[in-house]
Amino acid sequence: MTGREILHMGERRLAKAGVPEARINAWYLFAFCFGKVDREGQRHPMERSEFFLREEEEMSDKTCGEYREMLEKRSRRIPLEYLTNETEFMGLPFYVNEHVLIPRQDTECLVEEVLRVSEGKEVLDLCCGSGCIGISLAALGRCKSVMLADISEEALYVSRKNARKNRVSVEIVQSDLFSRIRGTFDIIVSNPPYIPTKDLEQLMPEVRDFEPRLALDGAEDGLLFYRHIIRESHCFLKKGGSLYFEIGYHQGKAVSALMEQAGLTEVRVKKDLAGLDRIVQGTLR
C-alpha cells in the first residue's frame, strides 16, 4: 500500500470507531510510525511536507502492521499520548505513560502564573505526576531549587525520566502529600486530583477508562486534597511564601474560601485561556 492509502485507511478506521478528531489522530499515529528513529533511539515523527513528497511510495509491511495495531488501540479510546509515549508541555518534551495524567494546556496557565515570580525561589511541586509543572519551572523559571513529590512510585519513575530528558536538576521524593517532605519553600504549587468521585463516570472515555484514577479522584466533593494541602501548608511555606493550585472551573469559590479560613492572604482566583476559573493562589504572611 502507498502512504496515502495507508493514511486513508487509518482515517476511516478511527472515524468508524467514533474517535473524535479521527483525521488528525490518524495522521499523528501515521507520522509517529513512519517517522525516523535516531542513533539515541529518539523518535522523529514524519513531517507533513515529507509525506506530500512520499505519499505515492509503497510503505513497509512491518511498519504498516505497527500502524494498524496503534489504530486498534486508539479505536478502543486509549489516549494518543499513551500510544506515542510523548507530549509537549510549555514547549518542552515530556514522556508519558498510563501511570500519569497527560499534561493539559490548562495547567500551562498555572505554570505561566508561577513563572512570573519564580526567580531565585525554592519551589515544591506536590502531586507531581509526570513532573510537567516542576520540571517546566526548573527549565524556564530560574528557580533556586525545585523539589517534586508524588505518592506513586510509577509516577516518580516518569518524573525522573522527564527531568533527564529536559536536563534539569530537581529533587524527587516519594511522599503522600507532605508526609515525607522536609524543609520550607517560597512557592508550593500543586495540581492535585480534583474531580468529585460521582463525576468520574461522566468524563470522556479516554480519561475515564485510561488515565490514572489516583490522579483524578478528589473524593466526595473533589476538595479533599485542597483541604489537606492548605491545612499543612503553614508548616512548609516560608513567611511571605505562596501556595498555587490548579482547580476545576467550578471550584474557585470553595478553594479560595478554604485558603482564607486557613489564614492565607491575598487570595486570588485566575482564569484559563477559555475564561474559566483555573488557578487559586494565596500567601502566608
The answer to whether 127 contacts ligand GLN (rule: CB under 6 A) is yes
Of 247 and 262, nearer to ligand GLN (C-beta) is: 247
Q: Do 100 and 156 form a contact (C-beta atoms < 8 A)?
A: no
Residues 52-81 that bind ligand GLN (CB under 6 A): none
Q: Which position among 129, 222, 248, 252 is part of the footprint of ligand GLN (CB under 6 A)?
A: 129
Residues 171-190 that bind ligand GLN (CB under 6 A): none
The answer to whether 128 contacts ligand GLN (rule: CB under 6 A) is yes
Q: Which position among 29, 31, 133, 177 is part of the footprint of ligand GLN (CB under 6 A)?
A: 133
The answer to whether 107 contacts ligand GLN (rule: CB under 6 A) is yes
Q: Name the minimum Å distance from CB 225 to ligand GLN.
A: 8
The answer to whether 248 contacts ligand GLN (rule: CB under 6 A) is no
* Bridge partners (DSSP) listed for residue 125: 148, 189
Write out 99-139 in H/E/C secondary structure: CCCCCCHHHHHHHHHHHCCCCCCEEEEECCCCCHHHHHHHH
Residues 206-245 that bind ligand GLN (CB under 6 A): 215
Q: Name the minimum Å distance from CB 246 to ligand GLN.
A: 7
Whole-angstrom distance, CA of residue 10 vs CA of residue 14: 6
Determine which helix (DSSP H) or strand (DSSP E) holds 54, and give its type and residue range. Answer: helix 48-54
State the residue for C-alpha cell 495495531. 69
Q: Which position among 79, 141, 193, 282 is part of the footprint of ligand GLN (CB under 6 A)?
A: 193
Residue 95 CB contacts under 8 Å (≥ 6 apart), including other chains: 85, 86, 130, 158, 161, 162, 165
Pairing relationship of beta strands 277-283 and 237-246 according to DSSP bridges: antiparallel
Name the residues that contact ligand GLN, by CB under 6 A: 101, 103, 107, 127-130, 132-133, 191-193, 215
